[in-house]
Homo-oligomer: A and B are copies of this chain.
Amino acid sequence: PDVQFLASVLPPDTDPAFFQHLRALDCSGVTVRALPEGSLAFPSVPLLQVSGPLLVVQLLETPLLCLVSYASLIATNAARLRLIAGPEKRLLELGLRRAQGPDGGLTASTYSYLGGFDGSSNMLAGQLRGVPVAGTLAHSFITSFSGTEVPPDPMLAPAAGHGPRVDLAARVETWLERVCGHLGLGVREPHRGERAAFVAYALAFPRAFQGLLDTYSVQRSGLPNFLAVALALEELGYQAVGVRLDSGDLLQQAQETRGVFRTVAAQFRVPWLESIPIAVSNNIDEQELARLSQKGSEVDVIGIGTSVVTCPRQPSLGCVYKLVSVGGQPRMKLTEDPEKQTLPGSKAAFRLLGSDGALLFDVLQLAEEPPPQAGQELRVWPRGTQESCTVRPVHVEPLLRLWVQQGQLCEPLPSLAESRAFAQQSLSRLSPAHRRLEQPALYQVALSEKLRALVDRLSAEVPSESPLLGAA
């Protein structure tokens, strides 16, 4: 049906042999070299090298760009967010609803994990990709309770399993009085429906009780209600696992909430309550993340949706897929924009390292050239400059690996968790100047002398100094 559709939109005199040819196509002649997932990639270094029958590899252009660009963008964005948050905060991706459909959301969840997040609320990403899943509860769960509901069974057994069952709902009311007394709140101030929701949640998940605090008012409702349930559970040997704040000034509220936890923990002698994890969410961008991650922040878990999924600072990554060689002959596109010129020829890429393992720069050369040797001087031409320089690397790492040969996978792909670890390890090797998020130092990518000479030769083939007509 695909070929049939194609025939219906192409000119009616299209050679029928073309459609026959399309029907017989497959990827058995395609070979793919690529950077391993999670690699640091700098502009001009190929992410993928695809070779095979011309028509087939041309048909792969859009699918590969579509699959690689967004995944790389998200991984990069997640890595930035991780660098901002530091290693300690737990970062959760919560952006499925802001993705371009469920498929985009799946990619976002997968590659934000690869880039350094700890998990996602996207269950499908857990099921299909092994991303750790986590989440809290929804406002709609809380607002669905008015407080007049009667739990089908309010009795809960102690965590240890033995001992009499206790009416949790009744214990919560008792604890509410104590908590409100301690906090100077009227016992009728906390919302009954919210409390009923917390009790229902605690009865269903006594070992995983958590509270969403901001449905009505954090300080006057969500927090006392949560504490009443948490303390009633505590009597039975259960520890609540966390709270979430989803509106208002998150940093300030986390600090206030932690303050309340501390005083309540002391008052009622429940030490673990002091350090209960506080999760926050609500349109957190890079700037707000930096604020929430500052020293003294009482925030433990940070959920980010829109900002990780849509990458508002740069919503697309301009990956391109260019023909560089046909039948062993190099090809080059010159165009009217020097930036859109391509680097001709089948290439190899190497990362040069100094004595301390520091990254010096990446070198692109023609595939047929011998690889750079550790300890040997090399003359290269950094991109964007007109001058060459020499370097004597202490280590040389080839960047591209053969993954698919003639349509067959050559080695097992690393797991997502392995790629995630590799990404963090790769980032840690980058110098602070290159790693900083605002105006980072430019990491150099250089051409070998032979590649540079080929670019010069092909550029000279078409004169393009001045337009033929029109202004200047």
Chain A interface residues toward B at CB < 8 A:
1-2, 5-6, 9-11, 13-15, 18, 54, 58, 61-63, 65-67, 69-70, 96-108, 123, 126-127, 133, 138-144, 146, 183-185, 189, 191, 204-208, 214-221, 246-249, 252-253, 255-256, 259-260, 282, 306, 309-312, 315-316, 318-319, 321-323, 326, 329, 331-337, 340, 342, 461-464, 467-471
Contact partner of A105 (CB less than 8 A), chosen from B66, B127, B329, is B66
Known: A100-B108, A323-B143. A189 touches B463 (CB 8 A): yes
B252 touches A323 (CB 8 A): no
Closest to A192 in B: B461
Known: A9-B126, A70-B100, A103-B102. A58 touches B315 (CB 8 A): no
Oligomer copy total: 2
- Minimum Cβ distance to chain B for residue A375 (Å): 38
A-B contact pairs, 16 of them (CB 8 A): A14-B205, A67-B102, A70-B99, A97-B319, A100-B103, A140-B323, A146-B331, A184-B468, A185-B468, A215-B334, A218-B467, A220-B462, A256-B470, A306-B316, A311-B315, A312-B315
Contacts of A14 in B (CB 8 A): 204-205
CA distance A179 to B127 in the complex (A): 63
CA distance A255 to B102 in the complex (A): 43
B340 touches A247 (CB 8 A): yes
A462 touches B221 (CB 8 A): yes
B316 touches A2 (CB 8 A): no
Contacts of A208 in B (CB 8 A): 11
- Minimum Cβ distance to chain B for residue A175 (Å): 18
Closest to A128 in B: B5
- Minimum Cβ distance to chain B for residue A49 (Å): 14
Contacts of A461 in B (CB 8 A): 191, 216
Contacts of A321 in B (CB 8 A): 140
Contacts of A140 in B (CB 8 A): 58, 61, 321-323
A462 touches B191 (CB 8 A): yes
CA distance A14 to B204 in the complex (A): 7
A189 touches B252 (CB 8 A): no
Closest to A133 in B: B9
Contacts of A1 in B (CB 8 A): 127
B69 touches A144 (CB 8 A): no
- Minimum Cβ distance to chain B for residue A132 (Å): 9
Contact partner of A220 (CB less than 8 A), chosen from B323, B337, B468, is B468
CA distance A246 to B5 in the complex (A): 27
- Minimum Cβ distance to chain B for residue A125 (Å): 11
CA distance A204 to B62 in the complex (A): 22
CA distance A105 to B67 in the complex (A): 11
Closest to A464 in B: B217
**Top-7 shortest CB links A-B:** A100-B104, A248-B336, A103-B103, A65-B97, A219-B468, A310-B315, A140-B323
- Minimum Cβ distance to chain B for residue A322 (Å): 7
B143 touches A470 (CB 8 A): no
Contact partner of A333 (CB less than 8 A), chosen from B54, B69, B143, B259, is B143
CA distance A14 to B206 in the complex (A): 9
Contact partner of A61 (CB less than 8 A), chosen from B66, B104, B138, is B138
A256 touches B469 (CB 8 A): yes
Contacts of A144 in B (CB 8 A): 54, 58, 323, 326, 331
Contacts of A221 in B (CB 8 A): 462
Contacts of A468 in B (CB 8 A): 183-185, 219-220, 256
Known: A127-B5, A316-B306, A316-B310. A138 touches B217 (CB 8 A): no
- Minimum Cβ distance to chain B for residue A157 (Å): 10
Contacts of A139 in B (CB 8 A): 322-323, 333, 335
- Minimum Cβ distance to chain B for residue A360 (Å): 32
Contacts of A96 in B (CB 8 A): 62, 66
Known: A5-B123, A103-B104, A216-B462. A146 touches B336 (CB 8 A): no
B470 touches A331 (CB 8 A): no
